[in-house]
């Protein structure tokens, strides 16, 4: 089979760091990339062949992007699925707008997984005293729509808390006694082939519940790891997903795995794959959506990923502190997304540390957190 | 120490594949990149923040590029060193224009290495019957200026051949009975720290003497490998080089190492480092010229690199044949440089194959050469 240069024209809805890293891989292979993002010179837009500056919900802009592309995808979930369902567009968009709608509604997502035989925390499709009694307290309140990075989630300690919850469509879940939070990156091709990356441990910032570090591989038994990979692949097959997906799970204190949620795209928990795996999650995503064969998910070396968030009070042009010192640590890769403005807790970049000894990589990550800061 | 975004502004003279892969690494770290190249939308220009469309010898364009940058470098040797020697520019250009002038003149390069105690093939600074008698026949004729990829080199079988050589400034060398052609990528920082990557084997196309494949690591004794790395580092220190350098050597049939020539920049023989080493040669080059600490050169997995050249008769928009089949081979990374026009033997891209077993990677590379073609 022959393909004419640029081989594939990729449209990406959203021009953030995920789109940027997809663009890097696409350009490596000579592909053409168009990006839609409201911020001019977005991280991905700086590298893409073209950026359409418009809102993710703008149907005309979406239509233009997809029409110019052979294959379209997104780096965020909050897009206009209705516009993408138009007959001329839908066959080019991966994962499908229908799948995206399931993911956008966290209740529907949970119901779909549960009905498909995937182990999930016990949940009830309502917020009520009755539900709290059934689930026991404390319990978890979750907004159905729009939550990310710990937003749209609250802990209900006691019945009185029910009165002060945000007025949003929501549901309730049991509180899981978490041993570890795990994630598995899964890729599924157009032909239904699925592959899983090694299971990773996600470590969250206690205050804001943004993912702070990722350890690859997870320090769990071989048996648990295999089970987690099986569950993750089953989730993506159940959803008929095409592309890369992050399946986030709890390992509870009794050793049970429970799926928390699914991201229908490359994910923060898979950034380590750039340096540590044969095929990065971003190249893998492109392979999957373009109908190319999937690549090897083999881990070549243990790795730790540390997110670089804007410091408290940071506002304006970003300033990095400690770059020289950080880069002197062997095995460190520094990623900066190219956002022109820093804000507190904004994801500005990340560092991956590879080391043949995971515990040594974890110690190096600790050091990175001490010395490397993104201020203004 | 604090640095304001974009941290470093990098100027690159030349916008080909080496500049493109440098740009990829620079953009990963959030740096700003400007490129000078006569072809609009050059491989690097497609990813850079700015391309100046002008000739490499245009002094005004060179001046503009360097003035806009914190640090400037090049991806080719054939640039106007005179313009770069201007006082306001020279302190920003790495490697230095003076070093580049030594490299540009292959005779001066050889004399410099020889005087510095580096083992090189026996050479004489003239083309004459006397020199041929001294070196023995066959001997090698080399143009002093402008040669690359086997151009500017000829074999003199007998005295009569001397009459038909090109009328160029040239010199003569003994013919080495080559066991293997090796290369070592060396990085040297502004502070004089040097590191060497694992020694690789270069396999050349017999007809056109363009590098066809690279095997990493070279299948040589540990002792020879160590010796090669020492010689390579000594070369770069001797030249007071700052940046990444490729030191190409012959291993002769008696086991002796002889330096053939030095490229003052990242090099085809180091492309494998992107997938197989902790720090790629391109990031390493940026670290070196920016005054950042050097990264680890550790090889994580054996690798083979295969160049993708335009097929015989190819002319016009490139067409790839066999991409799906090639990408189905586990461990394959496909690189396409984004040149809009293919020509016979033009370097259009490369493939890296990683495999824990080097011999398996070599077999996969053979398969890639059979199935993957760049035509028009």
The per-residue pLDDT for B87 is 87
Tokens of B119: 């083992």
Inter-residue contact A304 to A361 (CB < 8 Å): yes
| pLDDT tens, position by position, B266-289 | 999 999 999 999 999 999 999 999
Q: Show which of A44, A72, A93 is a domain's final residue.
A: A93
Per the CB < 8 Å rule, is B320 touching A293? Answer: no
What ipTM goes with this model?
Answer: 0.96
How far apart CA A33 and CA A15 sit, in angstroms, is 11
- Domain span holding position B49: 9-93
Assess whether pLDDT exceeds 80 at residue B147. Answer: no
Please indicate, yes or no, if residue B169 is contained in any of the structural domains. Answer: yes
Q: Which residues of A touch B27 (CB under 8 A)?
A: 24, 46-47, 338
Closest CA to A288 of A95, A105, A91: A95
Per the CB < 8 Å rule, is B7 touching A320? Answer: yes
Tokens of B273: 């480092």
H helix and E strand count, chain A? 12, 20
Please indicate, yes or no, if residue B160 is contained in any of the structural domains. Answer: yes
* Statement to judge: residues B195 and B303 lie in one domain: yes
Nearest-CB residue to A331 (from B7, B46, B278)? B278
Inter-residue contact A93 to A290 (CB < 8 Å): no
Please indicate, yes or no, if residue A2 is contained in any of the structural domains. Answer: no
The per-residue pLDDT for A78 is 85
- Parallel, antiparallel or unpaired: strands A32-36 and A50-52: parallel
Helix pair angle (A106-115, A97-104), 10° resolution: 100
Closest CA to A349 of A319, A312, A313, A328: A319
CATH number for A30: 3.40.50.20
Number of cross-chain residue pairs from A and B with Cβ atoms under 8 Å apart: 129
* Statement to judge: residues B206 and B334 lie in one domain: yes
Closest CA to A133 of A145, A147, A122: A122
* Statement to judge: residues B182 and B254 lie in one domain: yes
Please indicate, yes or no, if residue B76 is contained in any of the structural domains. Answer: yes
Strand partners, B310: B374
A211, A325, A328, A371 from A322: Cα distances, Å:
21, 5, 10, 5
Inter-residue contact A309 to A345 (CB < 8 Å): yes
The per-residue pLDDT for B211 is 86
Q: Which residues of B touch A331 (CB under 8 A)?
A: 278, 296
Question: From the CB of residue B159, how many other CB atoms can be counted at a distance below 10 Å?
Answer: 11
Assess whether pLDDT exceeds 70 at residue A102. Answer: yes
Query: What burial class does residue A352 get, using C-beta atoms within 10 Å of its C-beta: 0-12 exposed, 13-18 middle, 19+ buried?
Result: buried
Nearest-CB residue to A27 (from B29, B47, B333)? B47
Q: Give phi and psi for B2, each to the nearest 5.
A: -110, 145
Assess whether pLDDT exceeds 80 at residue A147. Answer: no
Residues 6+ apart with CB under 8 A from A94: A71, A72, A73, A190, A242, A243, A288, A289
* Statement to judge: residues A35 and A157 lie in one domain: no
Mean pLDDT of A266-275: 98
**Binding annotation of B:** 106, 142, 173-176, 181, 260-261
Q: Which residues of A touch B330 (CB under 8 A)?
A: 278, 295-296
Determine the 3-state secondary structure of A325 from DSSP.
helix
* Statement to judge: residues B370 and B254 lie in one domain: yes
Mutation choice for A interface testing from B293, B325, B354 by most A CBs within 10 A: B293
The per-residue pLDDT for A149 is 66
| CA dihedral (A215, A366, A154, A166) positive or negative | negative
Mutation choice for B interface testing from A15, A282, A338 by most B CBs within 10 A: A338
Per the CB < 8 Å rule, is B7 touching A49? Answer: no
Inter-residue contact A213 to A365 (CB < 8 Å): yes
Q: Give phi and psi for A237, each to the nearest 5.
A: -65, -40
* Statement to judge: residues B132 and B237 lie in one domain: no
Average per-residue pLDDT for chain A:
96
Give the rounded distance of the alpha carbon of B252 from its chain centre. 22
Closest CA to B199 of B223, B222, B225, B173: B225
The per-residue pLDDT for A281 is 98
Closest CA to B183 of B80, B263, B256: B263
Residue A299 is classified by DSSP as B
Per the CB < 8 Å rule, is A319 touching B2? Answer: yes
| pLDDT tens, position by position, B296-344 | 999 999 999 999 999 999 999 999 999 999 999 999 999 999 999 999 9
* Statement to judge: residues A15 and A151 lie in one domain: no
H helix intervals, A8-58: 17-28
Closest CA to A200 of A187, A186, A219: A219
Q: Show which of A145, A174, A203 is a domain's final residue.
A: A174
Cis-peptide into A185, omega within 30 deg: no
A151, B74, B270, B291, B325 from B77: Cα distances, Å:
53, 7, 17, 22, 36
Per the CB < 8 Å rule, is A49 touching B46? Answer: yes
Assess whether pLDDT exceeds 90 at residue A211. Answer: no
**Binding annotation of A for ATP:** 106, 142, 173-176, 181, 260-261
Assess whether pLDDT exceeds 80 at residue A208. Answer: no
A21, A147, A148, A310 from A343: Cα distances, Å:
21, 19, 17, 5
The per-residue pLDDT for B122 is 98
Assess whether pLDDT exceeds 70 at residue A39. Answer: yes
Closest CA to A305 of A373, A358, A341, A374: A358
Inter-residue contact A305 to A351 (CB < 8 Å): yes
Closest CA to B200 of B261, B259, B273: B273
How far apart CA B233 and CA A48 sit, in angstroms, is 38
Please count the residues of chain A. 376
Position B205 confidence tier, pLDDT thresholds 50, 70, 90: confident
Per the structure, how many domains does chain B have? Answer: 3
Please indicate, yes or no, if residue B256 is contained in any of the structural domains. Answer: yes
A32 → chain B, closest CA residue? B338
* Statement to judge: residues B360 and B333 lie in one domain: yes
Q: Show which of B113, B139, B174 is a domain's final residue.
A: B174
CATH number for A281: 3.30.470.20
Assess whether pLDDT exceeds 90 at residue B225. Answer: yes
Question: From the CB of residue A336, how many other CB atoms can be counted at a distance below 10 Å?
Answer: 24
Cis-peptide into A138, omega within 30 deg: yes
The per-residue pLDDT for B1 is 87
How far apart CA A187 and CA B127 sit, in angstroms, is 61
Tokens of A201: 């441990």
Please indicate, yes or no, if residue A113 is contained in any of the structural domains. Answer: no
Mean pLDDT of B61-68: 96
How far apart CA A127 and CA A131 sit, in angstroms, is 6
* Statement to judge: residues A168 and A209 lie in one domain: no
* Statement to judge: residues A210 and A190 lie in one domain: yes
Assess whether pLDDT exceeds 70 at residue B150. Answer: no
H or E element in which residue B27 lies: helix B17-28
Please, what's the largest Cα pairwise distance for chain B? 66
Name the minimum distance, in Å, from the CA of A292 to any CA of chain B.
6
Long-range interactions of A312-317: CB distance < 8 A, separation 24+: A312/A344, A312/A345, A313/A344, A313/A376, A314/A342, A314/A343, A314/A344, A314/A374, A314/A375, A314/A376, A315/A341, A315/A342, A315/A343, A315/A344, A315/A376, A316/A341, A316/A342, A316/A376, A317/A341, A317/A342, A317/A376, A317/B4, A317/B5
The per-residue pLDDT for A239 is 98
The per-residue pLDDT for B120 is 98
Determine the 3-state secondary structure of A170 from DSSP.
strand
Nearest-CB residue to A4 (from B5, B319, B332)? B319
* Statement to judge: residues B209 and B165 lie in one domain: no
The per-residue pLDDT for B149 is 66
Mean pLDDT of A321-330: 98
Nearest-CB residue to A335 (from B29, B301, B318)? B29
Cis-peptide into A248, omega within 30 deg: no
A39, A60, A77, A78 from A56: Cα distances, Å:
11, 10, 10, 8
Q: Give phi and psi for B9, each to the nearest 5.
A: -105, 115
Residue A176 is classified by DSSP as P
Nearest-CB residue to A324 (from B1, B5, B278)? B1
Average per-residue pLDDT for chain B:
96
The per-residue pLDDT for B79 is 86
Residue with tokens 């052979």: A70
The per-residue pLDDT for A345 is 93
Assess whether pLDDT exceeds 70 at residue A261. Answer: yes
* Statement to judge: residues B169 and B282 lie in one domain: no
CATH number for B140: 3.30.1490.20
Determine the 3-state secondary structure of B177 from DSSP.
coil
Assess whether pLDDT exceeds 90 at residue B77. Answer: no
Please indicate, yes or no, if residue B353 is contained in any of the structural domains. Answer: yes
Please indicate, yes or no, if residue A111 is contained in any of the structural domains. Answer: no
């Amino acid at each position: 089979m022959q393909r004419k240069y640029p081989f594939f024209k990729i449209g990406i809805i959203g021009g953030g760091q995920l789109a940027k890293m997809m663009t890097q891989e696409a350009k490596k292979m000579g592909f053409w990339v168009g990006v839609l993002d409201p911020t001019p010179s977005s991280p991905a837009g700086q590298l893409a062949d073209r950026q359409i500056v418009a809102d993710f919900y703008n149907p005309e802009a979406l239509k233009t992007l997809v029409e110019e592309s052979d294959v379209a995808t997104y780096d965020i979930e909050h897009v206009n699925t209705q516009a993408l369902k138009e007959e001329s567009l839908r066959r080019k968009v991966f994962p499908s707008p229908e799948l995206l709608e399931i993911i956008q509604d966290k209740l529907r997502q949970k119901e779909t997984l549960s009905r498909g035989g995937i182990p999930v925390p016990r949940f009830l499709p309502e917020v009520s005293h009755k539900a709290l009694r059934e689930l026991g307290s404390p319990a978890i309140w979750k907004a159905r729509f729009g939550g990310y990075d710990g937003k749209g989630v609250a802990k209900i300690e006691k019945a009185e808390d029910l009165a002060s919850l945000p007025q949003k469509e929501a549901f309730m879940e049991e509180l899981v006694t978490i041993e570890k939070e795990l994630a598995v990156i899964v890729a599924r091709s157009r032909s239904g082939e699925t592959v899983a990356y090694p299971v990773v441990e996600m470590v969250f910032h206690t205050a804001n519940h943004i993912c702070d570090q990722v350890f690859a591989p997870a320090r769990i038994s071989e048996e648990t790891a295999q089970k987690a990979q099986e569950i993750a692949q089953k989730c993506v097959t159940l959803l008929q997903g095409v592309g890369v997906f992050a399946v986030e799970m709890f390992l509870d204190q009794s050793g049970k795995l429970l799926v928390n949620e699914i991201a229908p795209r490359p994910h923060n928990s898979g950034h380590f794959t750039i340096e540590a795996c044969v095929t990065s999650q971003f190249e893998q995503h492109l392979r999957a959506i373009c109908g190319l064969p999937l690549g090897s998910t083999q881990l070549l070396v243990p790795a730790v990923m540390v997110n670089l968030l804007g410091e408290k009070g940071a506002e304006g042009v970003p300033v990095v502190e400690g770059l020289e010192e950080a880069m002197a640590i062997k095995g460190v890769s520094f990623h900066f997304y190219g956002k022109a403005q820093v804000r507190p807790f904004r994801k500005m970049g990340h560092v991956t540390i590879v080391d043949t000894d995971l515990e040594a990589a974890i110690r190096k990550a600790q050091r990175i957190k001490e010395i490397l800061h993104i201020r203004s």
